[in-house]
Amino acid sequence: MVEIGNGIDGSVSGAKAGVTLGLPCMGQEPEERRDFLPSLARRVGNLGLDVFVETGLGAAMGYSDSDYFNASDRVRVVERSEAFAQDVVLVLRSPDDRFELMKPGATLVSMLHFPTRVQRYRRLKELGIEGVALDLIGDDSGRRLVENMEAVAWNGLEATFGALAQTYGGFKTHDREPIRVTIMGAGMVGKHAIEAATKYGSLERARVLSGYPGVEVTVLGRNLTSDGGYLRRRLGVTDVLVDSAYRSDSSRPLIPNEWIVDMPEHAVVCDLSVDPYLLDADPPTVRGIEGIPQGTLEQYVFWPHDPNWRATIPHAIPDTNRRTSVSCYSWPGIHPRACMHKYEEQLLPCLERLLAAGGAASLKVDGGYLERALYRASMGAWSALL
């Protein structure tokens, strides 16, 4: 072990000699610009470990190969296959079509979303790859340690109120009623969504509209989201419907498409959960609000007659009833550098502990604070559940 000081949980931290880290490009949609930064490569290199960076990493954010190469003498710029061939591979969004580039026994650290991506879990297991889901790393009370929920809520609500300003003729009138926002879910995203909604999703917009009637926010927990009669009455007085709910049963929507007709014509649906449609999974996964599209960083506002509306909706899912919908698979990606700086600061202590263990296979359920957090996010912890 190469000791580098005291860990967060009070133990001596360090990096296991010979362990290597691969940083591949995400290789997602052209508008997805996020990659891990040169500063993370430097900090891991300072642990005495070799970091293998795929050529082109960070290019969409304005970084060059030399920015990574010059970050540390432990950084090597390599082709994709070599970046994926390391002991631990770190990439923000899951590289589903590149799992085969990894070697058996290696650890993939990524947003793996095991509860709603069971087939992804099974594929990793078939290939003998260990997985640690960034989205599941949490402390002993369940609070996520790697997250950007504030950006999810604020970026999503900013786009939503921008759309509402166009659909609602009375938006900028002094005699209107307060804008009524209904938020489904009171978790981390929901809590940030409350504040963002009261400020029209933007501090600047709140300043401009300071002399107008404000925003009324109603938050629904599970006892109300499971009450169909109440929900339908609530939809009838909702200008903005926000889905930030975590569902225990993802095979059923909270809002069936037929209920959308109850909403005012000018209403806007704000999708912050961004669950997928996975009808072939067992059990299947559907969206919390049935019949709305899943947006991208290229397009995240969908008007009711948008020709792209059905592009991400399976044929079997009804979408007859529509309201303007705002959705993006990655709300934090709208501001990529700020997003990746935040993830780096949150992730580095966890990554250091994982590297000290030599990979996910060595994590212990009764280890120190960070080791317990990592274990709960690992495939080993989920093997009995999936």
Residues 111 and 206 grouped into a single domain:
no
Residues 68 and 207 grouped into a single domain:
no
Q: Which residues form the domain of 258?
A: 149-333
Whether pTM exceeds 0.85: no
**pLDDT tens digit sequence for 193-243:** 999 999 999 999 999 999 999 999 999 999 999 999 999 999 999 999 999
Residue pair 155/192 in contact (Cβ under 8 Å)? The answer is no
Q: Tell me whether residue 144 is in a domain.
A: no
**pLDDT tens digit sequence for 298-348:** 999 999 999 999 999 999 999 999 999 999 988 999 989 999 999 999 999
Letter string b/e over residues 128-137, b meaning 16 or more CB atoms within 10 A of that residue's CB: ebbbbbbbbb
Residue 92 pLDDT > 90? yes
Cα distance between residue 111 and residue 379, in whole Å: 13
Q: Tell me whether residue 181 is in a domain.
A: yes
- Residue 361's SS3 state is helix
Residues 198 and 90 grouped into a single domain:
no
Q: Tell me whether residue 358 is in a domain.
A: yes
Tokens representing residue 215 in the block: 């925003």
Q: What is the mean pLDDT of the chain?
A: 93
- Per-residue pLDDT band at 115 (split at 50, 70, 90): confident
Cα distance between residue 226 and residue 231, in whole Å: 8
Give first-to-last CA distance, the chain, whole Å. Answer: 34
Residues 175 and 53 grouped into a single domain:
no
Orientation angle between helical segments 38-45 and 336-357, nearest 10 degrees: 20
Residue 288 pLDDT > 70? yes
Residue pair 130/379 in contact (Cβ under 8 Å)? The answer is yes
Q: Tell me whether residue 13 is in a domain.
A: yes
Residue 10 pLDDT > 50? no
What lies within 8 Å, CB to CB, of 117 at 6+ separation is: 94, 276, 278
Residue 385 pLDDT > 80? no
What is the tally of structural domains in the chain? 2
Residue 12 pLDDT > 70? no
Cα distance between residue 316 and residue 116, in whole Å: 19
Residues 345 and 262 grouped into a single domain:
no
What lies within 8 Å, CB to CB, of 89 at 6+ separation is: 21, 22, 23, 24, 83, 102, 106, 107, 108, 109, 110
Strands 130-133 and 107-111: parallel
